[in-house]
Amino acid sequence: MSEVMLEISHLKKYFEVGNKQTLKAVDDVSFHIYQGETLGLVGESGCGKSTLGRTIVRLYRPTEGSILYKGKEIGVSLPRKEEREFCRKMQMIFQDPYSSLDPRMKVLDIIAEGIDAIENTGNAEKRRETVLHLLDLVGLQEEHAHRYPHEFSGGQRQRIGIARALAVHPEFIVADEPISALDVSIQAQVINLLRQLQKKLGLTYLFIAHDISIVKYISDRIGVMYLGKLVELAPSDEIFRNPLHPYTKALLSAIPRPDPKIEKQRERIMLEGSVPNPVDLPKGCRFCTRCPLATEACSLSEPPFREMEPGHWAACHRYDSAENK
């Protein structure tokens, strides 16, 4: 995983929400993703994870910053031919399989939409064979091609969504909380399917979720977001072994343990207060209003996102303090 596929630099995505207020959904975020890896992205609802993913795949135009895909800037307007090519290379699996599939279309046509838009060969037989191959790839049967979305379970619908994303042979996929709307018994099946497809097709993932324990299972590295900011980024095992940011520590402390004895002795970090209003952000560190280690300095200046240890990045003024060790 030495070649960088995607490089995000100082990316911002702001929304005007009326009354001359600005919602800073993604605010000065920088990271990179290696070819063939899975970067997990976690955080509370509303922290900007999905907006970041949608901006990367060009569903939103960035307010500021750079998105480099294999060295090519794609965060700006592109010629039509290049636009179509990047639409093919970068696809998205959406969170809700109930609302992301057109209820009036049969599965054959839903999966073939991308093929029709990008390739448009006009060969109906080849189109059908491609769809049937994709259905088989995600664990569905040939007869499923002629049914409507309402005839499937949630897990099956998400498999259809995955097949649709794979239809144009992408290299990079943003999986936007692809299991959060599914039953717990089905979540592991979908996760395992994504891992198998990655190995078989050489895919690169940005995997977005709010459950850090699930993200660890599929991700090579994990990034933690809070109120539009990336507050920590490190290899998955390192995040669990040695979290540096107080917010990451609080997230990890909330994971239940299967052993009753360990669970009883586990020390939970309880955060006080609620998440600040995203259109009226606190000065300094955005976590300072809830952080148990916050000092006056934390409320005065924003901590830089820097490499605290080799390969381990975080944004915290208190990293060097004894209390945070």
- Number of H helices and E strands in the chain, helices first, is 10, 12
The pTM of the whole model exceeds 0.75: yes
Lowest mean pLDDT among 18-22, 116-120, 127-131: 116-120
Q: What is the pLDDT of residues 155-179, one digit of tens each?
A: 999 999 999 999 999 999 999 999 8
Give the integer Cα–Cα distance in Å for 254 and 249. Answer: 9
pLDDT at 22 over 50: yes
- Give phi and psi for 10, each to the nearest 5: 50, 45
Give the integer Cα–Cα distance in Å for 98 and 149. Answer: 8
Q: What is the pLDDT of residues 50-93, one digit of tens each?
A: 999 999 999 999 999 999 999 999 888 888 888 888 888 999 99
Q: What is the amino acid identity at position 160?
A: I
Sequence-distant (6+) residues with CB within 8 A of 237 are none
In the chain, the domains with their CATH numbers are 4-241 (3.40.50.300), 246-324 (no CATH)
How far is the first Cα of the chain from the last one, in angstroms, to the nearest whole number? Answer: 30
pLDDT at 123 over 90: no
Q: What is the pLDDT of residues 67-78, one digit of tens each?
A: 999 999 988 888
In percent, the amount of the chain with pLDDT more than 90 equals 66
Residue whose C-alpha is closest to residue 141's, from 155, 162, 127, 156: 156
Q: What is the pLDDT of residues 253-310, one digit of tens each?
A: 887 777 677 667 677 787 887 888 889 898 999 999 999 888 888 999 999 999 999 9
pLDDT at 122 over 90: no
- pLDDT, greater one: 20 or 141: 141
Mean pLDDT over each residue of the chain, to the nearest integer: 90
- pLDDT, greater one: 31 or 87: 31
228: left (phi over 0), alpha (psi -120 to 50) or beta: left
